[in-house]
Amino acid sequence: MSNGNGSGAGEEAAQPQPQPDATTAFAATAMDEQAQAAADEGVDAAQRDAFMQRAMAESRRMSSEAAKSDQKRKELYEEMGMSAASMASMTREHMEAVQAAAQAEQAAQAEAGQDASQATQVD
């Protein structure tokens, strides 16, 4: 059995299946509401259902990718002997340093612009 991208069912079994989440519940509710509304608008049910199935499959794939990314990040933190909290602290410290430098540069540019306009007004 193929999953649509040429992969066999054996490959699917090796991948962890994410649990239904809030996004999935929201999509299922929205799908039911759209099915009721579509009946009044003459939308082809098969086409709508196929679209929703593709959207749900993509949502599951993205959830799986996010979970794999989180796991890789956790493994890297462990390898580096860091916790997520210490990484967050370092990230925040770096962000503050970058923002301070950007603000200083903006202040210098603004001051240079004021000096140039004052020189023009004096002439």
Residue 2 lies in a domain: no
Residue 66 lies in a domain: yes
DSSP string, 61-97: HHHHHHHHHHHHHHHHHHHTT--HHHHHHHHHHHHHH
Domains of the chain: total: 2
Q: Are residues 41 and 75 in the same domain?
A: yes
| pTM (two decimals) | 0.44
Using CA atoms, how far apart are residues 1 and 27, in angstroms rounded to an integer? Answer: 26
pLDDT digits (tens, 9 = 90+) for 19-42: 557 777 787 788 788 777 777 677
Q: Are residues 91 and 77 in the same domain?
A: no
Residue 114 lies in a domain: yes
DSSP 43: -
The token pair that represents 55 in the structure block: 């959207």
pLDDT digits (tens, 9 = 90+) for 38-67: 776 777 778 878 888 898 899 889 999 999
Q: Are residues 55 and 95 in the same domain?
A: no
Angle between helices 45-79 and 22-41 (to 10 degrees): 170
- The residue range of the domain holding 97 is 83-123
